[in-house]
């Protein structure tokens, strides 16, 4: 998605050869018009699939996941990074955050993930795939099926893409990064 890549190049910052900071447009301050176009792109790609719910992990994936779920006409399920005291029957999984460099539990109310439901997982970044693996584990526990994975920015030089490919997931990455070198992004074809 060229507009997204241009926004990343204009407003993003390469912090290292592994980290791109895009908090001005995606995960701290949100460019709502860009998120709307991202939601449309995911919708266009996944609209033929029998999606029952769009799923993301709080908080950076919420905006693109919402924009897509709205178009698909299905609920958005937000996986929590901490169990609220109102959650009565949670499912749990462990996740290691690449950017925060720590492990934490994620959870979802069991009643919101039903056996046989078809899910579309959307997230802002794909690095080593840990967030996805956590969502995958919650879906497995519930008996739900992940039919697609939408990634806003995918760092293909890390392990996440290989994991998704190995397990046969239908992945659509809007801004795939081949590598980051000398503070510049090299886009994958």
pLDDT for 64:
98
Q: Do 79 and 135 meet the contact criterion of CB atoms below 8 Å apart?
A: yes
pLDDT for 100:
75
Which residues are annotated as part of the binding site? Answer: 27, 127-131, 155
pLDDT for 138:
98
pLDDT for 96:
86
pLDDT for 97:
78
**For the domain bounded by 2-78+111-187, which CATH number is listed?**
3.40.50.2020
pLDDT for 101:
80
d(CA 71, CA 76): 11
The tens digit of pLDDT for each residue in 113-152 reads 999 999 999 999 999 999 999 999 999 999 999 999 999 9
d(CA 176, CA 103): 25
Which residues are annotated as part of the binding site for xanthine? Answer: 27, 155
pLDDT for 175:
98
Closest CA to 96 of 84, 110, 81, 83: 81
Backbone angles phi, psi at 57, to 5 degrees: -105, 135
pLDDT for 4:
97
Which residues are annotated as part of the binding site for 5-phospho-alpha-D-ribose 1-diphosphate? Answer: 127-131
pLDDT for 33:
97
pLDDT for 68:
98
pTM of the predicted model as reported, rounded to 2 decimal places: 0.95
Sheet hosting strand 53-57, strand order edge to edge: 76-79, 53-57, 118-126, 145-155, 171-181, 184-187
Q: Cis omega (within 30 of 0) on the bond before 178?
A: no
End-to-end Cα separation, the chain, in angstroms: 11
pLDDT for 141:
97
Domain ranges of the chain: 2-78+111-187
Q: Which residues of the chain have pLDDT under 50?
A: none
Q: Tokens 């908080």, residue?
A: 59
d(CA 136, CA 14): 29
Closest CA to 135 of 124, 119, 151: 119
Torsion of Cα atoms, 163 then 102 then 54 then 44, to 10°: -60
- The two tokens of residue 169 are 């997931």
pLDDT for 189:
82
d(CA 94, CA 105): 5
pLDDT for 27:
87
């Amino acid at each position: 998605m060229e507009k997204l890549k241009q926004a990343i190049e204009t407003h993003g910052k390469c912090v290292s050869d592994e980290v791109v900071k895009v908090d001005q447009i995606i995960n701290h301050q949100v460019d709502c018009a860009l998120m709307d176009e991202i939601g449309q792109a995911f919708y266009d790609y996944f609209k033929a699939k029998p999606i029952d719910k769009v799923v993301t992990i709080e908080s950076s994936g919420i905006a693109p996941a919402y924009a897509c779920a709205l178009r698909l006409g299905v609920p958005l399920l937000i996986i929590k990074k901490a169990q609220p005291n109102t959650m009565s029957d949670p499912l749990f999984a462990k996740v290691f955050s690449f950017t925060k460099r720590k492990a934490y539990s994620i959870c979802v109310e069991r009643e919101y993930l039903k056996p046989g439901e078809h899910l579309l997982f959307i997230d802002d970044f794909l690095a080593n795939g840990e967030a996805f693996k956590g969502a995958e584990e919650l879906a497995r526990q519930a008996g739900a099926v992940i039919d697609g994975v939408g990634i806003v920015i995918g760092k293909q030089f890390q392990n996440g893409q290989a994991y998704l490919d190995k397990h046969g997931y239908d992945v659509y990455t809007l801004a795939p990064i081949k590598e980051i070198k000398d503070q510049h992004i090299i886009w994958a074809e």
